[in-house]
Amino acid sequence: MRTGLSQHTSMRQELRVNPRLYQAMDMLYMPMMDLQQHLKQELLVNPFLELLEPEEEEAPEQKDAEQEKEQKEKEEEMDWEEILLNGFEVGGTREQYEQLEYTEPVTVETKDLIDYLREQLQMLTLTPRQLLLAEEFLGNINDEGYLAASLEEILGSVNHLVEGHVEGEPEAEDESDAEDDTAAPAAPAGIDAASPAFYTLPEAEEMLAIIQRLDPPGIGARDLRECLLIQLGEQADVTSLTYRLVHDAFQDLIAHRWNDLAKRFGVEPVAVQAAADELARLDPKPGLKHASQSDGYIIPDLIVEKIGTRYQVFLNDTGMPRLRLSRSYQEIARDKKKMTPENREFIASKMNSANWMIQAIEQRRQTMLKVMNFIVDRQRDFFEKGIEHLRPLTLREVAEVINMHESTVSRVTNEKYVQTPRGVLPLKFFFSSALATASGEDASARSIRAKLQKMVGEEDSAKPLTDQQIVHLFQEQGIQIARRTVAKYRDQLGILPARMRKRV
């Protein structure tokens, strides 16, 4: 075995990805809103990029006036060459910049569920001790309005606060210690510093009853059954059949055992179903009415419109900044004699970056239009007749037609939306697996689910279709599908089994 330093040569192949290529792939992946923010950031960091505002066609006299205005502004413009060559020290008088004010946008604060409940508690006559316990309850109510912790857990948490204050209180040995500035902080409101007492289970049960009387009805329930009972207790007589079904036979009720419930309560099955239908008017998640949720606005990246007999595809980029190379900086870059080597290197780097950015944006536009045009051609029956005529499509098929890699198509379609005559849809909507048909053509899995939903919607409620019967109906239409596939699609659509859909 030899030790020491040595040199040797070898040959190997490596795949190196240019950082700009990574950035180009990220730009393909970005939805419209993210791309707008990205371009605005580029405008700030690259002086060779400037914003090109879209201009409408103007009359000749209006153009002359605009040119005179631009010439006047150009004369009053700062000496950008001097700024660039002197290290970007901004010139001009101070008054020029004090006239420009920027107001930071402020987000408007909205009240959530806990704020709404806290306001109601403050209007009640509660002691500080009760308010401290109420805060512990509010901290354990989730967005749906349910109490996410048991009474024992809530007691353990609030009593831990009491215990921590008792153990952390120092004992004064003499008068000087008692007056020391480092004494323990005052006890929280609700804890008696002289004789603190731990909270008990009856106190927790009393506070739970108070919270469950707040608005919206059903708040503070520990499960769905209790939530429904709270709402029924306010709306109906506790002796009603609906209340008794939830209180005494909840498991049979959710299993739709109408005949068993009818025998148990001595009524007709129709009466049991009518009582169960009353529950559909109640809110199983009362807290969502006041939960703090941001508005889910969608800005489509593409637009498909039917003009005459053809479907035209447009890129919805009217709100996206239009970039071009700054004319002022281009003129500076041409005169290289006045520049130092550092300035020349900086200018070359920023100009190349600006050129590449403009090309990358155009490439993104062309790629998205190619993908969407192919989708429109392939899915024309869907646009004409509806979802039942949606054809199967994969990323690979699109990639082969537009001569691009499958991963590129995936990035183009990810988190992108298109506005169509059939509504605003994600691009992923048009891609689905295929099922064989008797005619030899393939059917889209998404169209199969739509047909299944239509079959169930049109069935006789007294004799609902079983999964096997649905298989036979598909076979009559020339679609080969297994029973377990029907069951899987039914679960995805939230459709109950035939036994639970039956009505008497």
Q: What local confidence, expressed as pLDDT, does residue 157 receive?
A: 87
One-letter identity of residue 494: G
pLDDT surpassing 80 at residue 106: no
Q: For residue 97, is pLDDT > 50?
A: no
DSSP-derived pairing of the beta strands 442-444 and 434-436: antiparallel
Express each pLDDT in 373-430 by its tens digit: 998 988 888 888 888 788 888 888 888 888 888 887 888 788 888 899 888 888 888 8
Better-predicted residue by pLDDT, 492 or 92: 492
Lowest mean pLDDT segment, chosen from 125-139, 216-230, 352-366: 352-366
pLDDT exceeds 70 at position 437? no
**What is the pLDDT, as a whole number, of residue 146?**
92
Look up tokens 């901290």; give the residue. Answer: 139
**DSSP notation for 404-447:** --HHHHHHHHTT-EEEETTEEEEGGGG-B-EEEBTTS-EEEHHH
Q: Tell me the torsion sign for CA atoms 400, 401, 407, 410.
A: negative
Q: What is the rounded distance in angstroms from the CA atom of residue 255 to the CA atom of residue 248?
A: 14
Name the most confidently modeled range: 34-43, 317-326, 453-462.
Answer: 453-462
pLDDT of residue 93: 44
Helix (H, G, I), strand (E, B) or coil at 148: coil
**Average pLDDT, rounded, for the chain:** 75
Give the pLDDT confidence score for residue 210 in this predicted structure: 92
What is the amino acid identity at position 246? Answer: V
- Could you read off the pLDDT of 196-246 as tens digits, one per residue? 578 889 998 999 999 999 988 899 999 999 999 998 887 767 788 888 888
pLDDT tens across 368-387, in order? Answer: 888 899 989 888 888 888 88
The strand pair at 323-325 and 49-51 is best described as: antiparallel
Most confident of 87-96, 116-125, 186-195, 235-244: 116-125
306 backbone dihedrals φ, ψ, rounded to 5°: -95, 115
Mean pLDDT (whole number) for 459-481: 83
Q: Is the pLDDT of residue 173 over 50?
A: no
Cis peptide upstream of residue 216 (ω within 30 degrees of 0)? yes
Strands 417-420 and 302-307: parallel
Q: What is the DSSP letter of 337?
A: G
Contacts of 431 (CB under 8 A, 6+ apart): 393, 394, 395, 413
Burial class (CB in 10 A: 0-12, 13-18, 19+), 83: middle
Per-residue model confidence as pLDDT tens digits over 321-350: 677 777 666 666 666 666 667 767 777 777
Q: The whole model's pTM is what?
A: 0.58
Ordered DSSP codes for 367-401 = HHHHHHHHHHHHTHHHHHH-GGGPPPB-HHHHHHH
> How far apart are alpha carbons 418 and 95 in whole angstroms?
48
**Which residue has better confidence, 338 or 355?**
355
Range ranked top by mean pLDDT from 192-196, 205-209, 268-272: 205-209
Looking at residues 4-22, what average pLDDT do you find?
Answer: 63
- CA–CA gap between residue 217 and residue 219 (Å, rounded): 6
* d(C-alpha 69, C-alpha 203), whole Å: 77
